[in-house]
């Protein structure tokens, strides 16, 4: 039998079983009940089993809000991503799972690649009282965000981002392995004019990828001019298509597209519309290919990394940070690799 509660003063939600109800039913103090429920040591085994039993019988469920208020911790982590595409979804799923193992839930919000929305979202999450905030910022060069991050309470984990003045736990991607692999592969096939579609320099991959590409070119004795690098501010199909046009005009024989899948789709559509065949007329390297896409030809060679792992690492960083907020910031690096496929071939001799 559920205990009879006083008549509800609140028009709203149901009252629910509290530790006081358990205490009464067990003829014991709520302090001890709390101790049992939290698995603290120093409770007589008999008491423990009894309380556990009563709690189960009454269908007790802890009130998280009350606990949060008292302990100043919400067991909630926020995850801010630009967009829930396959890459970020995968990160989210693994991050969520990792956190769940530690009794922590994940609040997700998308900015739709809008730096202004990002500020609002971070603000919201801070006010929500998340214990930690995992950030895949659209722009890590936005001074408003940088300023905001200094004033908020949650622990921070940056996902392949570097914010000036913020020394936070970070999961970095080392782009060099993948990019150099791709360039080396293309050079070996005989390509010299290797175009790059990248993100703009407002976030770390947008800075690191072009740098790695240029380095790799130099290593191969090639000087990649700026006309070979198109930096996209947006990642819809139209942007991808326009980048393709610019690179074809620059006489590239190969393109490395380190941008989200929606933009790469734009590249593919545009090439098809122009009658440019892959890899016959143009070699293409992408940046992760969804499984369903990879089931069709040409399979896109890709610079890739383990997104799920990034989520797991972010989760671990968050959890360990919460256990000890005073430790110094840690940086974990995830490598990238080049996965060859049927989308590359020797350049057409003209």
Partner DNA sequence: TTGAAAGCGCTACCAG
Partner DNA sequence: CTGGTAGCGCTTTCAA
Alpha-carbon distance of 300 to 284, in angstroms, equals 7
Task: Among 15, 24, 83, 299, indicate the residue that binds DNA (CB under 7 A).
Answer: 15
Pick the closer one to DNA by CB: 45 or 165: 45
Q: Which does 336 bind (CB under 5 to 8 A by kind): DNA, a copy of itself, none?
A: none
Q: Does 19 bind DNA (CB under 7 A)?
A: yes
Alpha-carbon distance of 48 to 25, in angstroms, equals 14
Pick the closer one to a copy of itself by CB: 84 or 250: 84
Binding mask 278-317 toward DNA (x if CB under 7 A, else -) reads: ----------------------------------------
Q: Does 128 bind DNA (CB under 7 A)?
A: no
Alpha-carbon distance of 260 to 250, in angstroms, equals 22
Residues 32 to 71: which contact DNA by CB under 7 A? 32, 34-35, 37-38, 41-47, 60, 62-63, 66-67, 69-71
Q: And the tokens for 64?
A: 């998280």
Q: Does 10 bind DNA (CB under 7 A)?
A: yes
> For residue 82, with 0-12 CB atoms within 10 Å meaning exposed, 13-18 middle and 19 or more buried, which class applies?
buried
Three-state SS at 169: strand
Q: Which does 132 bind (CB under 5 to 8 A by kind): DNA, a copy of itself, none?
A: none
Helix (H) or strand (E) holding 147, with range, is helix 143-151
Least Å from the CB of residue 61 to a copy of itself: 4
Q: Nearest-5° angle of CA 81, CA 87, CA 91?
A: 70
Pick the closer one to DNA by CB: 20 or 331: 20
Of residues 15, 64, 13, the one with CA closest to residue 37: 64
Q: Nearest-5° angle of CA 7, CA 63, CA 49?
A: 100
Q: And the tokens for 158?
A: 């940056």
Q: Does 103 bind DNA (CB under 7 A)?
A: no
Three-state SS at 84: coil
- Say if residues 237 and 177 touch (Cβ distance below 8 Å): no
Least Å from the CB of residue 151 to a copy of itself: 6
Alpha-carbon distance of 223 to 251, in angstroms, equals 15
| Residue found by looking up tokens 């890709």 in the block | 302
- Say if residues 136 and 159 touch (Cβ distance below 8 Å): yes
Stretch that binds DNA, among 31-39, 74-82, 165-173, 239-247 (CB under 7 A): 31-39
Q: Does 343 bind DNA (CB under 7 A)?
A: no
Strand segments, DSSP code E, in 69-178 are: 76-81, 105-110, 132-135, 155-159, 169-174
Q: Does 16 bind DNA (CB under 7 A)?
A: yes
Pick the closer one to DNA by CB: 30 or 215: 30
Give residues in contact with a copy of itself (CB under 8 A): 10, 12-14, 16, 59, 61-66, 68-69, 71-74, 76, 83-86, 89-90, 92-93, 96-97, 100, 105-110, 123-129, 151, 153, 237, 261-262, 264-265, 268-269, 272, 289-298
Q: Does 2 bind DNA (CB under 7 A)?
A: no
- Cis amide bond preceding 279, omega within 30: yes
Q: Which does 146 bind (CB under 5 to 8 A by kind): a copy of itself, DNA, none?
A: none
Q: Which does 189 bind (CB under 5 to 8 A by kind): DNA, a copy of itself, none?
A: none
- Say if residues 303 and 256 touch (Cβ distance below 8 Å): yes
| Residue found by looking up tokens 């792992």 in the block | 309
Least Å from the CB of residue 260 to a copy of itself: 10
Chain residues that interact with DNA, rule: CB under 7 A: 9-11, 15-16, 18-20, 28-32, 34-35, 37-38, 41-47, 60, 62-63, 66-67, 69-72
């Amino acid at each position: 039998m559920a205990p009879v509660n006083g008549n509800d003063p609140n028009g709203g939600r149901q009252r629910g079983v509290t530790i006081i109800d358990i205490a009464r039913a067990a003829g014991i103090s709520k302090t001890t009940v709390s101790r049992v429920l939290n698995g603290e040591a120093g409770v007589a085994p008999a008491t423990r089993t009894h309380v556990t039993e009563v709690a189960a019988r009454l269908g007790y469920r802890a009130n998280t809000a009350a606990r949060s208020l008292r302990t100043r911790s919400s067991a909630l982590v926020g995850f801010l991503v630009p967009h829930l595409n396959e890459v970020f979804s995968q990160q989210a799923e693994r991050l969520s799972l990792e956190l769940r193992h530690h009794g922590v839930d994940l609040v997700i919000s998308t900015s739709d690649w809008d730096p202004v929305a990002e500020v609002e979202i971070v603000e919201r999450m801070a006010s929500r009282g998340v214990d930690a905030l995992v950030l895949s910022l659209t722009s890590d060069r936005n001074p408003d965000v940088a300023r905001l991050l200094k004033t908020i309470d949650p622990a921070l984990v940056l996902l392949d981002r570097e914010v000036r003045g913020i020394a936070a736990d970070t999961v970095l991607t080392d782009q060099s392995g993948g990019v150099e692999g791709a360039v080396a592969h293309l050079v070996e096939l005989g390509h010299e004019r290797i175009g790059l579609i990248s993100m703009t320099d407002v976030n770390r991959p947008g800075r690191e990828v072009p740098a790695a590409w240029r380095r790799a070119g130099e290593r191969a004795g090639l000087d990649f001019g700026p006309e070979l690098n198109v930096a996209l501010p947006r990642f819809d199909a139209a942007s991808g298509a326009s980048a393709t046009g610019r690179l074809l005009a620059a006489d590239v024989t190969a393109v490395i597209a380190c941008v989200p899948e929606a933009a790469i789709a734009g590249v593919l559509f545009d090439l098809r519309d122009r009658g440019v065949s892959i890899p016959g007329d143009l070699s293409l390297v992408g940046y992760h290919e969804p499984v369903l896409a990879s089931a069709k030809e040409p399979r896109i060679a890709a610079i890739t990394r383990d997104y799920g792992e990034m989520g797991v690492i972010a989760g671990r960083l968050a959890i360990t940070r919460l256990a000890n907020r005073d430790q110094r910031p840690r940086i974990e690096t995830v490598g990238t690799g080049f996965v060859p496929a049927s989308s590359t071939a020797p350049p057409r001799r003209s």
